[in-house]
Amino acid sequence: MTDQRPLRFNAFVMNTTSHIHHGQWRRPDAHQTDFNDVQTWVDLAQLLEAAKFDAMFFADVTGLYGDADADYDVYVEEGLQIPSNDPSVLLSALAVSTRDIGLALTSNVMQNHPFNFARQVSTLDHISRGRVAWNVVTGMQDNGARNFGLDRLTDHDERYRWAEEYVEVAYKLWEGSWEEDALEQDREGRHADPRKIHKIHHRGQRYSVEGPHLPSPSPQRTPVLFQAGSSGAGRSFAARHAEAVFIIAPSRELAATQVRETRDQAEAAGRRREDITFYQGLSFVIGSSEAEAKAKAAQYDEYISIEGYAAHAALVDPDGRVYPPETPLRELRTNSARGFAEWLQRHITDREPVVADLVRQRAQSGRIVGTPEQIADELGLWRDAGVDGINVVNWVIPGSFAEFADHVMPELRRRGLAQSEYAPGPLRQKLFGSPRLSDRHPAAAWRGAFSGERSPLLAAAGGRG
Ligand SMILES: Cc1cc2nc3c(=O)[nH]c(=O)nc-3n(C[C@H](O)[C@H](O)[C@H](O)COP(=O)(O)O)c2cc1C
């Protein structure tokens, strides 16, 4: 394989106790229970920065998982993303405690008006000197929708149309409202040039925003755009807008297909294949020998909360109750995880497969167990499959990241699979070589769009706006 680029590494986290690997918070070495303590996150950000991770990526939700009318006992008892705190607030503390690491927050299109959101992100981009990324999500919880005045989650494809308008408003504010040299701060004269600060006069289906954007241009203007949808509408949104896409592919072959197809779509949308990077989510169990790693994996398995994973995966009955671990798979009446359930029914033939089998199989998928050398071998294969980076999913905080930093990163570096130093500048410059979005990105169409100097892209698009 000729591709010798180092992989990128993100730490996938959430400001909560139980994010992905449910039950692990009960381990004595689990400090994710201290998530309310800002020092937990400051220490982790500094650990990750010393290990040259590219970014810390915070997931977020706006409500409870599961049936919005059913009991939520399991979610609360397992600490499953409740309680959870707002990552955008936490990021400002991390921004002033670090220098290079990227800081990514998730925010869905329901939870914030785009005018206010764009302002918050510009402020964070100023505070962090250009290290903010936004994971654009459209929401996935009925309860989360009810917290914002809706009866239930808006239909799937309509959510992506909503997202299209949302990013359009934000792009107009970030890219089009302020010209580069509008801020003068001339003590003998004026503070800024009104002719270079523009109202955007957005009028769309959901939003009406006059502008101008209140912050002056931040180092990146538009934050680095992350996205994680895997449906047709999700991928098509990613192909047009995303700079980093998160995938959880069950195999390298399927990852290669998803990467290729999304890049094809990006090309069709006028972007270049390399304008989008792909991060596979994986977790790691590291040992100084294979036997030690396997023994550690068995310990993690002991802490798996069957109910926690089942609740997160929406393995619920028609009344919204989480299926008990001993429920035979043939009795499941749920659409989620049907493929997995059928696969297990074919593979477990000596007894009746139950929900606990399904959950264990899911909990153990996407994990690499081995020595640092074995893990580096595997990651080399993921790179060869066309993946640009890894989203490191943790079992415990900070231990999973500390072990990865201490034992796997040095081996990856020896092989040229991980960076040894940060490139200078804002996050987008570190990742793509330039602090601002390229002219090929749809956001660039709004540059100059409100000043009378129309951008060529906008003219080509028929002069929207
Ligand atoms: C790695 C990864 C992380 C995600 N993080 C979040 C999150 O923090 N908050 C959220 O609401 N959705 C999150 N999602 C869900 C997706 O953004 C998306 O809403 C979901 O996959 C459904 O979209 P789709 O139907 O296009 O696949 C995540 C998905 C993946 C694969």
pLDDT for res 344: 76
Distance in angstroms (rounded) separating the CA atoms of residues 73 and 236: 37
| Strand bridging mode 389-393 / 8-14 | parallel
Q: Name every residue whose Cβ is closer than 8 Å to that of residue 258 and which is 6 or more positions away in sequence.
A: 230, 235, 247, 249, 278
Q: How far is the CA of 399 from the centre of ligand 1 (A)?
A: 25
Taking CA atoms, 116 is separated from 137, 202, 212, 295, in Å, by 17, 14, 12, 49
pLDDT for res 336: 60
Distance in angstroms (rounded) separating the CA atoms of residues 179 and 216: 9
Query: How does residue 112 score in pLDDT terms, banded at 50, 70 and 90?
Result: very high
Distance in angstroms (rounded) separating the CA atoms of residues 233 and 223: 22
pLDDT in tens, 142-169: 999 999 999 999 999 999 999 999 999 9
CA 186, 189, 195, 200 dihedral sign is positive
pLDDT for res 251: 93
Residue (of 189, 138, 125) closest to 166 by Cα position: 138
CA 251, 253, 254, 255 dihedral sign is positive
Whether the Cβ atoms of residue 314 and residue 66 lie closer than 8 Å to each other: yes
**59 CB within 6 A, ligand 1:** yes
pLDDT in tens, 330-343: 888 876 656 667 77
Task: Please list the alpha-helical segments (H only) found in 65-196.
Answer: 73-77, 87-95, 114-127, 142-146, 156-171
Is the pLDDT assigned to residue 461 strictly greater than 60? no
| Strand bridging mode 202-203 / 208-209 | antiparallel
Q: Name every residue whose Cβ is closer than 8 Å to that of residue 148 and which is 6 or more positions away in sequence.
A: 62, 110, 111
Stretch 284-289: mean pLDDT, rounded?
98
Report the half-sphere exposure of 371 (CA within 13 A, side-chain side): 7
* Ligand 1 atom index nearest CA of 232: 26
pLDDT for res 347: 77
Name the residue of 20, 138, 140 whose CB sits within 8 Å of the most ligand 1 atoms, as the mutation to test its pocket.
140
**220 CB within 6 A, ligand 1:** no
pLDDT in tens, 164-182: 999 999 999 999 999 999 9
pLDDT for res 314: 86
Task: Provide the mean pLDDT of the chain.
Answer: 93
Closest residue by CA, ligand 1 atom 23: 229
Is the pLDDT assigned to residue 454 strictly greater than 70? no
Is the pLDDT assigned to residue 463 strictly greater than 70? no
Lowest mean pLDDT among 67-71, 78-82, 420-424, 434-438: 67-71
Whether the Cβ atoms of residue 27 and residue 399 lie closer than 8 Å to each other: no
Residue (of 69, 73, 91) closest to 82 by Cα position: 73
Is the pLDDT assigned to residue 459 strictly greater than 60? no
pLDDT in tens, 178-225: 999 999 999 999 999 999 999 999 999 999 999 999 999 999 999 999
Query: How does residue 86 score in pLDDT terms, banded at 50, 70 and 90?
Result: very high
Residues paired with residue 367 on neighbouring β-strands, in sequence order: 283
* Ligand 1 atom index nearest CA of 137: 17
**Count of residues making up the chain:** 465
Distance in angstroms (rounded) separating the CA atoms of residues 57 and 448: 32
* Ligand 1 atom index nearest CA of 139: 11
pLDDT for res 343: 73
Closest residue by CA, ligand 1 atom 28: 228
Residue (of 281, 248, 296) closest to 12 by Cα position: 281
Omega cis (within 30) before 212: yes
**137 CB within 6 A, ligand 1:** yes
Domains of the chain listed by start with CATH number: 8-284+371-461 (3.20.20.30), 288-370 (no CATH)
Is the pLDDT assigned to residue 464 strictly greater than 50? no
% of the chain residues with pLDDT over 70? 95
Residue 169 tokens, joined: 């408003």
Q: Is 151 exposed, middle or buried (0-12, 13-18, 19+ CB in 10 A)?
A: exposed
Q: Is 51 exposed, middle or buried (0-12, 13-18, 19+ CB in 10 A)?
A: buried
Pick from 65-74, 118-127, 453-462 the range whose average pLDDT is largest: 118-127
Q: How far is the CA of 244 from the centre of ligand 1 (A)?
A: 13
Distance of CA 445 to the CA centre of its chain: 25
**108 CB within 6 A, ligand 1:** yes
H or E stretch at 209? strand 208-209
**354 CB within 6 A, ligand 1:** no
pLDDT for res 190: 98
**229 CB within 6 A, ligand 1:** yes
